[in-house]
A and B are shown apart, each in its own frame.
Chain A
Amino acid sequence: MLVTLQLSALGFVFSTALGIVIGLCRLSNNRFVRAVATSYAEFFRNVPLVVQIFFLYFGLGMSSFSAGLLGLVLSSSAYIGEIIRSGIGAIPRTQYEVAHASGLSSLQVSRYVVLPQAIAIVLPPLATEFVNLIKNSAIALTVGVEELTFMTQEIDSITFRGFEAATAATAIYVVVCLVILQVVGLLERHLKIERRVM
């Protein structure tokens, strides 16, 4: 449980940071930068997470924790990049033009016009991505607990323990994720109200 939280929290921080970079690169005016970021995002969104983690663990010989963490970060940052991109892309062009026309500098436009709106758009899907990350950290355990694969081949002998562990784990996941999703729901309503006021 602690490992899951640790993995999710670290994973979320790193992948948000990387995701923002990817998202911004995808919006870049430089064609090369955009192409690199796009292929990164497309690649890691279209390869199963287990395959990525196994590649890092067996292929590159990383430790189980770092392979799991890096795998989570690689795939989540690709998704977060997409969220950031669509968040910033959702702001109408006219907003920029109006802001520039009213004499704000580029930095001021980003700071006072683009960012506040982008954050409101991006926050709810970002929080749900966090939920996904928690759920996906379960996959990271496949390389950590190597016996798991071996164990499942002898289902009969461990049915009893497996069942209890699975029940407890499921309950914890469901509670954690439902709580986060509720908070997201509240947040979303809150932001919507705010936007209406604006």
Chain B
Amino acid sequence: MSHNVILANLPYLLNGLKTTIVMSLLAMGMCLIFGTALCFARRSRSPLLRMPARAYIDVIRSAPLLLIIFWFIFFVPRFTGIRLDPYGSALIALVAYFSTHVAEIMRAGIQAVPRTQIEAGQGSGLNQWQVYRFVVMPQAIKNMIPALISRFVALIMGTSLTYIVGVIEFFRAATIVNNREYASVQIFSFVAIVYFIICFGFSRFGELCRRRLGAQELRKMEISLGR
């Protein structure tokens, strides 16, 4: 019985899983781009760039992801007049939310590079750009990778919330099947296990990177970011 429900609906569920994975990957890529921009704005010397970036990061970080998703489906169309489909608006909401986390991790990663390194770089005759490119960035990126991966795990889990605006991703597909079949225990156990396998795999990979790269501790940072 329990196998029947899952097996009978497997193609449908896998289709949902595909949406979840594609959406996660798209969001990750966009988060990296937007997060980098946000990080540079936040670190900028000009208050005109720094203050809005800071306000944006603080506000978005204090609101639940669920509400951000709501905002982008209700609020944004009213003001811009652009009506996006649920998939597009949910994707933008995910990027808007998690790019603030990416930006904060990048900031912490760059700050963790000791000042003496920068001075030594300048002292050995590198220009500003070269110091960034060859001294700061390689170390900062090494510090950032484990934290970024743990953020991406949160992002994958976050995609499950987009079901609420009607994106048929893995979790939504499962609830639809559940509404038809009334086999909640089997279906949601299956869903939990699949998410666990994906996210746990990613988490382990992050741990491995942490050990391999000998990254500096940004741990406190990560915990304070939540999920």
Mark A residues whose CB is within 8 Å of B.
Answer: 42-43, 45-52, 54-55, 58-60, 79, 82-83, 86, 124-125, 128-129, 131-132, 135-136, 138-139, 142, 148-149, 152-153, 155, 159, 162-163, 166-167, 169-170, 173-174, 176-178, 181
**Can you give 8 A-B contacts (C-beta < 8 A)?**
A45-B203, A47-B192, A50-B160, A60-B185, A82-B223, A135-B63, A166-B71, A177-B63
Nearest Cβ distance between residue B154 and chain A, in whole angstroms? 9
Whether B74 contacts A59 by the Cβ 8 Å rule is no
Contacts of A169 in B (CB 8 A): 67
Whether A173 contacts B62 by the Cβ 8 Å rule is yes
Residue of A nearest to B156 (CB): A48
Complex alpha-carbon distance, A55 and B171, angstroms: 11
Whether B73 contacts A178 by the Cβ 8 Å rule is no
Nearest Cβ distance between residue A67 and chain B, in whole angstroms? 11
Whether A170 contacts B63 by the Cβ 8 Å rule is yes
User: Is B82's CB within 8 Å of the partner chain A?
Assistant: no
Contacts of B73 in A (CB 8 A): 152, 155, 162
With an 8 Å Cβ cutoff, the count of chain B residues facing the other chain is: 45
Complex alpha-carbon distance, A125 and B223, angstroms: 6
**Which of B65, B71, B188, B223 contacts A54 (CB under 8 A)?**
B188
Residue of A nearest to B188 (CB): A55
Inter-chain residue pair count (beta carbon < 8 A): 130
Q: Which of the listed residues A42, A148, A155, A178 has the most CB atoms from chain B within 10 Å of its own CB?
A: A155
Mark B residues whose CB is within 8 Å of A.
Answer: 58-59, 61-67, 70-71, 73-75, 77-78, 153, 157-158, 160-161, 163-166, 171, 175, 178, 184-185, 188-189, 191-192, 195-196, 199-200, 203, 219-220, 223-224, 226-227
Whether A178 contacts B70 by the Cβ 8 Å rule is no
Whether A86 contacts B219 by the Cβ 8 Å rule is yes
Complex alpha-carbon distance, A125 and B166, angstroms: 34
For the residues of A in contact with B, the DSSP-based class is helix
Residue of B nearest to A139 (CB): B66
User: Closest 4 CB pairs between A and B?
Assistant: A177-B62, A132-B226, A58-B184, A46-B199
Residue of B nearest to A121 (CB): B220
Whether B62 contacts A55 by the Cβ 8 Å rule is no
**Which of A50, A82, A131 contacts B62 (CB under 8 A)?**
A131
Complex alpha-carbon distance, A149 and B66, angstroms: 12
Nearest Cβ distance between residue A38 and chain B, in whole angstroms? 12
Whether B195 contacts A173 by the Cβ 8 Å rule is no
Complex alpha-carbon distance, A164 and B163, angstroms: 21
Contacts of A155 in B (CB 8 A): 73-74, 165
